[in-house]
Chain A
Amino acid sequence: MKTKAGSDKLKRRAGIIVTFCVTALLMIYLSYKIPSLLPGDFITAMYGSSNVTLTAQQETELKAYYNEDRGFLSYLIRILSLDWGYSYAFLTPVAPLFFSALLWTILLMGSAHIISTLVGFIGGVEAVWRQNSRFEKLMVGGMTLLEGIPEICSGVILLVIFALHLQWFPASGAETAYAQNAFFERILDLGHHLVLPLLTLVLAYVPGNFLLTRNSMIMVIKAQFIITAKAKGIPPLKIRYKHAARNALLPVVTRFGLRFAFMITGALVVERINSYPGLGTLLFNAIQARDLPVIQAVVLASSVMVLAVILGMEHTYRMIDPRIGNAR
């Protein structure tokens, strides 16, 4: 019996891996094909309205120079051998460009997701625990209101108040460019620049997490096992988080995962408002300039990230809720 169960498990895992490999291949193809379907090309985008007026011959020469398209097979081989190509605009390899932007995206979006998930989750649990109290009503009202305010609006408001009028925080950038600072001054400077974009994102993400947790918790809190736990005299904090909240965690984890998967483009609005570096801006500029190798790299990396997050979430679900592992 044991051997049969083991072989079933293996088959299931192999099935998942094959599915993911096929999907990854499809994504590589889409990352190759879709950017090239954009109207216009690098030379038109770069030279069209420039101070240089090209003759037909000059244009043909430049187009030939910048055309790296050697067909999908060549692209696939390149990608599999971890060669991401050269950026047309910068004439430098794409990989360092991508990873230097990725660091900023992870810092901003990673912190925003973790903080907003924690705040939203704890807020949701506490609100349900104090059901019908003033606190809950205030939280639900406030969060619903916040949910309706788009990042572009809250971002600009925060910028005007805290950067322009109060001048507590800088208006743009991730740090004071080329500041003559010592190591710890630089860390403080990084944090100082991070506050406004981070706050904008946290304000945008917290309400969703809060409302989702509250809705999940509201069902759990009335369950028999919670009443039993209370009757047994288990401390309230333990009931809330160990017994009740764990059961309400699944949708929050799903949201966290999906949001994380869209991390690359998710911060574009905030990156633009606060001139914060990151992958969103990199992709935006690359699309404007029709810098195909960069667009392809960012599109591919973001699709691979979605795949990886979905795989990771599968694993996390099983850890949170062991019943999933037995489901067929």
Chain B
Amino acid sequence: MKLRLTICTFIFSFLILGILSSSSQLMAQEILKEIRISDSKGDWGYPNPYRHYPRGPGYIRMSWVFDTLIWKDQKGYLPALASSWKYRPETLSFVFRLRNDIKWHDGTPFSADDVVFTVKYFKKHPYNWVPMEQVKGAEQVGPNEVAITLHKPYAPFIAYIGGTMPIIPKHIWENVDEPRKFNEPAAFIGSGPFKFIDFDKTKGTYLYEANRQYYMGRPLTDRLIYIKAGNPIMTLLTGNADMANIKPDMAKPLLEKGMTIIENARGWNKKLMINHKKAPLDDKCFRRALAYAIDRQEIIEKAHRGFGSPASFGLLSPDHEFYNPDTPQYNHDTSRARRVLEALGYKEGSDGFYERDGKPLKVGLLSSNITVAGESVADRDGEVIRKQLEEAGIKVELANMEQATTDARVKKWQFDLAISGHGGLLGDARILNRMINPNITGSVNSARFGANKELLDLLRSQITEMDIEKRKALVYKIQEIYADELPAISLYYPASMAAYNPESGIKWFYTKGGISLGIPIAQNKLSLIRK
């Protein structure tokens, strides 16, 4: 008996010791100032270009460590590693003048060589956030000047490359042939305001420490910590976190507790994907009938307690500088939807639903729980849309499946209608190409619509148009045609909010057009730099 007790005690002690040694533990002599951000998912991959998850929160975790040539704040672009930049149309190149007072986290000076190397490295080992197919190459053109040359004019360059491409240190990566498998501490040496210390995959927590020599100034906190919490709001209320994304209906109680609430512009939309390759959904008149049948305000009221606003049918957000106010509208009108269907030859059957050639009009609808900032939330969008379509005489079979299963079906065109969503609607207008172009196969949010040649030509042209006004005109036209064709229907913009504790001394903000490609998350690194 004694022996068993000893064995049990030994096992338990071993377990506790195992846990204690399983994660890195800082035994600090001084108490360091720290900021804690709460997140419901926790795990977003390791924070370097090749290992973070390809969603906004993954990029943001990397952005603390790796800086880009230029960056954004509430007002727009501003210098980062590059102090100035200009476009030289005669050479099809963007020239960046670099700062000369920057050091990598390991103390090695940052130089133009690193920028040239990064471009070459990303061309050889693609980092999918940065489209390098338009980039011909990069070269040093002065002591602190680098020119990135293009094959042809590329209007989204600043957003997609200058403001998104993390610069990696040449002295570390030049000998790395398999970047995805490079997991040494050196893989996280950057030039950003924070040094990466730990990512606990089991707990979903991250630890960063301030880069006190940061060229834009010493960060306002010594440590930055991400914690995982099923209910981030509870961690705010109990003082365990300083900042979190919140559900809009929690704004009031949090405000009463002294939290500061910030709200983002309309940059993320819930969208109805349509299988436009399949009858009757291949007919744009039928798709218009769907648009008339759906009451978007009702979805917002019933499924989101009124927190949201109806989306533009032209995809770009009304808060975008290229938004076309004359984009066609389809105000909710069930009788008009019915008239359109009747004009298409449908007749009302005895059960109240339409039928044609003896076949009932029936569509499948895949529901989804996806929402802003990589979070998921159970909503009733599917049920409300089913009710609305059935009121218009369209029988709906609603299926709520696990997200990856839904995604797989949408990707293989094994669906009729599917509810999905994506952001980027405030970022560069290249989002239109990504969300419409038929050669996009890897996205479940892209309409992948190639039936309108004029639309495809316009999409191609807007990418190469470097004159802002001319590009704006092209983007206006794209929105008109898109809203006319309706290859997918943008439904609404859910209200997107974050809350933070003002006593922490940090003022968080939403970035103009979203961070990088348009990430609608209020965790801009400049919040932790500027007072």
Contact = CB atoms under 8 A, between A and B. Distances in A.
Contacts, number: 200
Contacts of B230: 172, 272-275
Nearest to B31: A180
Nearest to A101: B202
Interface string A73-108: 000000000000000011110000100110110110
Interface in B39-98: 42-43, 45-46, 51, 53-56, 59
Nearest to B420: A49
B154 interface: no
B442 A59 contact: yes
Interface string A171-187: 11110111010110011
A182 to B, nearest CB: 7
Interface string A40-60: 110111111111111110110
Interface range on chain B (Cβ under 8 Å from partner): 35 or more
A170 interface: yes
A39 interface: yes
Contacts of B440: 53-55
B201 A53 contact: no
Given A54-B440, A58-B126, A177 B404 contact: no
A285 interface: yes
Contact of A163 (B25, B51, B200, B234): B234
Interface string B398-423: 00001111011111000000001111
A133 interface: no
Contacts of A26: none
A159 interface: yes
B205 A177 contact: yes
B108 interface: no
B129 A171 contact: no
B212 interface: no
A328 B434 CA distance: 70
B414 to A, nearest CB: 10
B22 interface: yes
A277 to B, nearest CB: 4
- Most chain-A CB neighbours within 10 Å: which of B22, B198, B442? B442
A54 B442 contact: yes
A91 B42 CA distance: 17
Given A53-B442, A180-B28, A285-B43, A100 B202 contact: yes
Contacts of A186: 20, 25
B19 A290 contact: no
B267 to A, nearest CB: 12
A178 B223 contact: yes
Contacts of A275: 42, 204, 228-230
A104 B405 CA distance: 30
A177 B207 contact: yes
Contact of A91 (B28, B56, B180, B207): B180
Interface string B8-52: 000000011011101011111001100010000011011000010
Given A45-B407, A51-B55, A53-B440, A167 B238 contact: yes
Given A44-B408, A104-B202, A51 B517 contact: yes
B128 interface: yes
A90 B237 contact: no
B437 to A, nearest CB: 8
B403 A288 contact: yes
Given A40-B405, A163-B238, A172-B227, A178 B22 contact: no
A319 to B, nearest CB: 12
A221 B519 CA distance: 68
A44 B444 contact: yes
A47 to B, nearest CB: 5
Contact of A177 (B45, B227, B403): B227
A164 interface: yes
A170 B240 contact: yes
B228 A39 contact: no
B227 A46 contact: no
B235 interface: yes
A40 B444 CA distance: 12
Contact of A44 (B31, B46, B404, B434): B404
B9 to A, nearest CB: 13
A256 B202 CA distance: 26
Contact of A49 (B59, B128, B407, B409): B407
B491 to A, nearest CB: 15
Nearest to A41: B408
Contact of A48 (B207, B229, B443): B443
Nearest to B433: A53
B207 A178 contact: yes
Contact of B238 (A43, A106, A170, A183): A170
A160 to B, nearest CB: 9
Nearest to B128: A52
B20 A173 contact: no
Contact of B424 (A43, A51, A62, A288): A51
B285 interface: no
Contacts of B43: 89, 285
B404 A40 contact: yes
Nearest to B50: A91
Contacts of A282: 202
Contacts of B329: none
B446 interface: yes
A106 B16 CA distance: 10
A176 B228 CA distance: 11
Contacts of B403: 45, 49, 288
Given A53-B442, A172-B240, A288-B403, A65 B180 contact: yes
B356 interface: no
A38 B401 CA distance: 13
A274 B228 CA distance: 10
Nearest to B181: A91
B400 to A, nearest CB: 15
Contacts of A176: 240
A190 interface: yes
B144 interface: no
A275 B223 CA distance: 22
A159 B237 CA distance: 13
A288 B26 contact: no
B32 A180 contact: yes
A273 B234 CA distance: 12
Given A49-B421, A97-B202, A285-B43, 7 more contacts: A45-B404, A51-B54, A51-B516, A52-B129, A58-B126, A177-B225, A275-B204
8 A-B pairs with the lowest CB-CB distances in the bound complex, closest first:
A54-B442, A40-B408, A172-B229, A50-B54, A48-B407, A48-B444, A40-B404, A53-B434
Interface of B: 15-16, 18-20, 22, 24-28, 31-32, 36, 42-43, 45-46, 51, 53-56, 59, 126, 128-129, 180-181, 183, 198, 200-205, 207, 223, 225, 227-231, 234-235, 237-238, 240, 370, 402-405, 407-411, 420-424, 434-435, 439-446, 516-519
13 contacts: A39-B409, A45-B407, A51-B424, A52-B129, A90-B201, A103-B15, A103-B19, A164-B237, A167-B238, A172-B230, A177-B203, A177-B205, A180-B28
